[in-house]
Structure 1
Amino acid sequence: MPARRQFLSRCAGLAALGVSATTLADTATYRSFHAALDGDARLLPYADFAGELAGDATVLGRLPTDLAGVFYRNGPGRFELGGERYHHWFDGDGFAQRWAIADGKVHHRGRFVATQKFEQETRAGRFLYSAFGTQIDRAPVRSNDTINVANTNLLPFNGGVYALWEGGSATELDPDTLDTRGIKTWRPDLKAMPFSAHPKQDPDGGLWNFGNLPGADRLIIYRLDARGAVTRTAMLPVPQLNMVHDFVVSARHLVFLVPPYALDAPGRSLAERLRWQGGERPLRAVVVDKATLTVRQVFELRARSVFHLGNAWDDGDCIRLDAVLHAGDIVPEPALPMRGDMRPYEAQRSSAVQIMLDFASGQAREARLFGVSEFPRVAPQVVSRRHRKLLVLGVGAGSTAQVLDSVNLVDTDSGKVDGYRFGPGWQVEEHVLVPRSGARTETDGYVVGVAQDTRRGQTVLTVFDARNVQDGPVALARLGYRAPVCFHGNFLAA
C-alpha cells in the first residue's frame, strides 16, 4: 500500500525512540519510589505487579438483578524489571482485566497481555525497548509492534476482545480466559499501522478509528463494519501533528483536538521530546467530513492540552462536543508518582467543557461544565447523537492528593451535577454508563466502575444507580487483593 509506506516513512516513528548509546532507565527511580511507598499508601496504585489474578469478589449491598455482563478493563501493570523502574506511568506493560457479573455475583480475572515486547523482556530479565517516557536501546526495533505495550483500552467487538495501544496494532485476547491470541491485522496492507485506543462505535455496530505517529503530520482514518472488515480508509495531512490520543464522532463528522506541541530531535524518550508551545500555537479542532473523509474546517481555540473527549453531535451548521481541557503541558504529570511524588491533582488545572464549532463564522466557543476532572464518558446509545449527560471523574474539594476521588454525572443543559465522593484513601478509575435493556433515557441504567482502596490494598468494583449517583454505590464488589490501575474499558452486556 503506497499510503502505508508513505505514512511510515514520513514519521519520526515510535521505532526511532531509542537512539542514544545510553540506557536511561535507572535504579535511582526504583529506589526513590520504594522509599516513598513505605510511608505513603497513596502510591500503591503505581507499584509494580507480577503474575496473574483470579478470584470472587465479596459483594456489599445488592447488585441489580438486571445488571449482567462483563466489564473489560486494561492498563499498565509492569513498571519494574531487573532492578530498574520506568519513568512514566504510560510505559507499563498492559494488564487486561475481566469483571464478570451474573446472578448477584462478581468474578475477577487479570493477566498480562503477552505482547512480543513483554515476552522478550521477560525472558531477558530486563527492559530492552524504549517506552513513551523512558528511553532504552538494548535491542533493535523492527516495527511499531516491536514496542507495542497494549496497555490502554480493552475493546469487545464482533465476538473478540482487543487490547489497544495507540502506537501500533490491536492485540486480540480470548474473551473468557484473556489468553493472548496475537496481533490483529484488520487488512494485510494495514499491517503494523497505528490503531488508536479510542475507537467509536456507530449505531450500525461498526467502528470509526484513527492512527497517528509523532512527526508524520498525517492522520489515517479507519471505518470498520460490524463484522470487522475495513470498508474505508483515508490518509489526511494535518500540519504539526504530534499528540492526538482521542477523538469524537457525530452523525456527519469526526473531530480531533490537536494540542500545541512540537517534536524535538531524537535522542530522548517521546515524552521528553514533546515540547509545549502554548505561547506560540493554539489548540486546533480539526473537523473531518464523514462522507468525503476530507478535512472540512480547522478551528482555533485558546492553547490547552487534552487527552480525552466525551461525545459530539451536529446542531444545524454547528458541532457541539465535550472535552476535558488542561491548562499547560500535561505530559510530565503522570511521571511524578513513578518516582514517589504525589502532588495535588489541581496542579493540572483541568475542566470539562462543551465546545461549539460554528462553520459559518469559523469561530469556536466553549462553556464550562465541571472543574478538575478526567475520563469523560456518555451512554453508549447516544454516541454521535444529541446527549444531555456527561459522566466524569473529579477531585473533591480540599483534596490534597494527585488522585481522582469522585464520580459525577453532569447535566450538559443545566449544569447540575449528581455526584458522589469516595474521600480520602480512595483512587477512582474510569466509570461507564450501562443502560438497562430498552432504556429510554441516558440515566435509565447504572454507572459501573472500579476504585482502589489504598488503605486496605484492595480493588473494588462499584455500581451506582444512574438516576441517583449522590446517594453512593448500591453495591461494592470488593476483591481480597489489589489489581493494577486501568486506564479504559468497556461493558459488554450478557
Structure 2
Amino acid sequence: MTDRRHFLSRTLSLGALGLASGTALADSATFASFHGALDAHPELTVFADTTGEQAGDGAIIGHLPADLEGVFFRNGPGRFELGGERYHHWFDGDGYAQRWQIGNGKVSHRGRFVQTQKFREESTAGRFLYSAFGTPVARKAYKNNDTVNVANTNLLPFNGKVYALWEGGSATELDPQTLETRGIHAWRDDLKAMPFSAHPKADPDGGLWNFGNLPGSDRLAIYRLQADGTLGRMALLKVPNLNMVHDFAVSARHLIFLIPPYDLSPDTSLCLAARHLWAGGGKAARPLRAVVVSKETLEVRATFELPPRSVFHLGNAYDDGGTIRLDAVLYEGDALPEPMLPMRGELRPNRPGRNATVQLALDLASGQAREARLFGVSEFPRVAPQVVSARHRKLAVLGASADSPEFILNTVNLIDTDSGKADSYRFDAGWQVEEHVLVPRRHARSETDGYLVGVAQDTRRGQTVLTVFDAARVSAGPVALARLSYRAPHCFHGNFLPA
C-alpha cells in the first residue's frame, strides 16, 4: 500500500511529468515551416491536421474475401494545430478513433476525436492549454494525468467494450458502434489516473496483461485483467532508472520489458520528451536492460544487459525450455527526437542500420542474452492472435525500402522467424503504410491461414485505403483495397474484432 501511495503521489505531481507552469512554446514558426513544406512534399500529409468527424464507404478494388468479417479498430493522433500553433512532436496530437466495418462485400469507415477533458477544454478556448509529451505549453495547471490524457495510441476491443489507450493515464471508454466518448475508466477506485499502457497483451483465457510506468518513479505497475473486465491482480515493482518503457511482451510464464538507457532531467520547465536524456553513449554508456517478471509471483525474476539501444515496440515472446525468445525493433541511439522532424516539415532520413527487427534469446540459467537479426529498417511487429505468448513462426512488420532516401514505411512483410526469409510487398511511390495485423480464418490451421489487414495512405491522391492481403501470399499484393474518397488521420495501433 505504501508503494501504491508513492506511485500515485508521483502521478499527481506536476514535476513528475515535466508539465509545470511555464512559457507557452507551441509556436507559429513550426506551423509556418510545416505548411511551407507541405505542397512540395505530399508525403508530409500523414502529419497534417484533421478537423471534424468522418464517415464514408470504401470503393472496393479486387475481391473482398467473404469470410473476412468484423471491425478493424484504429487510433492515432489527429489534431496537431490550434490557434495558429502547431505541436512539435508526432506523439502529441489528440486521439482520433477510427472504425472500419468489414463484411458482406462492403467496407465502411467512421472516425471521430476522442472527447477527452483536454480536447474539450482546448476546443472551447481555441488554443492549446496544456503541455504535451514533446511540446511545452503550460498555459493552464492540471489536476492529474487524465487532465492531459490525449487517448491517441491504441483502440482496444475488450469484453464487449472499446477503450482508447494512452500510456500516461487511464483508459477512455468509447461506444463500440458510434465511437462516442463514454468517459474515463478506472479498473479500481484507488487506481484513478494511474498510467495504463497502450499495449496490453491477451492471455489464452481471454484476460489481459498490462503495465503502467511513470518516469522518475522507479515503479512498474502490473495489471492482470480478468476476461469479464474486472481487475484480478495488481502489483508495483521497484525497477531502478525506469524512465521509458512503451511496450512489453508476454510468454506463457513471463512478462518481459526492454528498458532503454535514459536519465530524467530534473528541469520541470522542459516537456517530458526533452527531459529524457540519452545515456547510451560515451565511456559511461548504460545498457539496454531486459527485465523478466514472473507471471506467477509478479516479481522480477531476472535482468539481462544488452548493448545500449532504444526501443518502442516488441513482437511476441515464448518460453523455450529455460530460454525466453522474443522479437523487438531496436534502434541505434536515441529514437525519441526523430518524430519531431516531420512536424516542422522535414523528411526523416533513411539511414542504413538506423534500426532492425531482431529476435532475442534470454537464457535464464546463464544470465546471457543472444541476438539474431530478422529484418532491416522496420517497425510495428505483430503476430497472429492465436500464438500470442506461445511459439510463433511468422512475424508481420512494416519496412522502409533501402533505396529510398527518406524513412517512409512502404513495404508489408511477413517474416519466417526460423529461416529469416520474408514474404514482402512494396507499395508504389507516394504510398505510406500503417501497422498491419494478422486475422486468422475461423478454424485456422496455421499462422498464414487468414489475412493480413491494414491501412495505407495514398498521399498523392489524399486518400486513405484499407488493404487486405492473403497471409500466405503477401508478395502477390493486396487481394482487395477499400479506397475512401478522403484522407483519414494516420494511426499508430489497432485491433481486429471478428464478427
Q: TM-score range by the shorter chain?
A: over 0.9
Post-superposition offset of 1:13 = 6.1
Matched with 1:161 is 162
Amino acid at match of 1:66: D
Q: Do the aligned residues in 2 keep the contact of 1:13 with 1:214 (CA within 8 Å)?
A: no
**Partners of 2:351 and 2:463 in 1: CA distance:** 25
Q: Do the aligned residues in 2 keep the contact of 1:215 with 1:263 (CA within 8 Å)?
A: yes
Post-superposition offset of 1:205 = 0.3
Q: Is 1:213 the equivalent of 2:218? A: no
Matched with 1:362 is 367
Q: TM-score, normalised on structure 1?
A: 0.98
SS of 1:346 mapped into structure 2: coil
Matched with 1:316 is 321
Amino acid at match of 1:488: H
SS of 2:229 mapped into structure 1: coil
Matched with 2:337 is 332
Post-superposition offset of 1:403 = 1.3
The equivalences for 1:119-158 within 5 A come to 119-158=120-159
Q: Is 1:7 the equivalent of 2:7? A: yes
Post-superposition offset of 1:9 = 2.6
**Partners of 1:138 and 1:333 in 2: CA distance:** 26
Provide structure 2 residue ranges, at least 5 long, that are not aligned to the other structure. Answer: none
Q: Is 1:108 the equivalent of 2:109? A: yes
Post-superposition offset of 1:360 = 1.0
**Partners of 1:8 and 1:157 in 2: CA distance:** 26
Q: Do the aligned residues in 1 keep the contact of 2:18 with 2:275 (CA within 8 Å)?
A: no
Amino acid at match of 2:387: V
SS of 1:22 mapped into structure 2: coil
Q: Is 1:418 the equivalent of 2:419? A: no
Post-superposition offset of 1:190 = 1.0
Matched with 2:349 is 344
The equivalences for 1:38-187 within 5 A come to 38-187=39-188
State the identity as a percent: 71
Q: Is 1:26 the equivalent of 2:17? A: no
The equivalences for 1:234-249 within 5 A come to 234-249=235-250
Show CA shifts across 1:367-418 (max 9, x none).
0000000000000000000000000000113012221000000000011110
Q: TM-score, normalised on structure 2?
A: 0.98
RMSD over aligned Cα, in angstroms?
A: 1.1
SS of 1:36 mapped into structure 2: helix
**Partners of 2:211 and 2:478 in 1: CA distance:** 35
Q: Do the aligned residues in 2 keep the contact of 1:396 with 1:423 (CA within 8 Å)?
A: no
Provide structure 1 residue ranges, at least 5 long, that are not aligned to the other structure. Answer: none
Q: Do the aligned residues in 2 keep the contact of 1:20 with 1:268 (CA within 8 Å)?
A: no
**Partners of 1:169 and 1:182 in 2: CA distance:** 10
Q: Is 1:286 the equivalent of 2:287? A: no
Q: Do the aligned residues in 1 keep the contact of 2:21 with 2:140 (CA within 8 Å)?
A: no
Q: Do the aligned residues in 2 keep the contact of 1:328 with 1:348 (CA within 8 Å)?
A: no
Matched with 1:272 is 274
**Partners of 1:60 and 1:399 in 2: CA distance:** 27
Residue number among 461, 467, 472 corresponding to 1:462 in the alignment: 467
SS of 2:36 mapped into structure 1: helix
Q: Do the aligned residues in 1 keep the contact of 2:23 with 2:139 (CA within 8 Å)?
A: no
SS of 1:405 mapped into structure 2: strand
Post-superposition offset of 1:267 = 1.4
Post-superposition offset of 1:15 = 6.4
Show CA shifts across 1:301-344 (max 9, x none).
00100000000000111100000000000000011000000032
Post-superposition offset of 1:3 = 3.6
Q: Do the aligned residues in 2 keep the contact of 1:13 with 1:215 (CA within 8 Å)?
A: no
**Partners of 1:10 and 1:136 in 2: CA distance:** 21
Amino acid at match of 1:323: A
**Partners of 2:254 and 2:120 in 1: CA distance:** 40
Matched residue count: 494
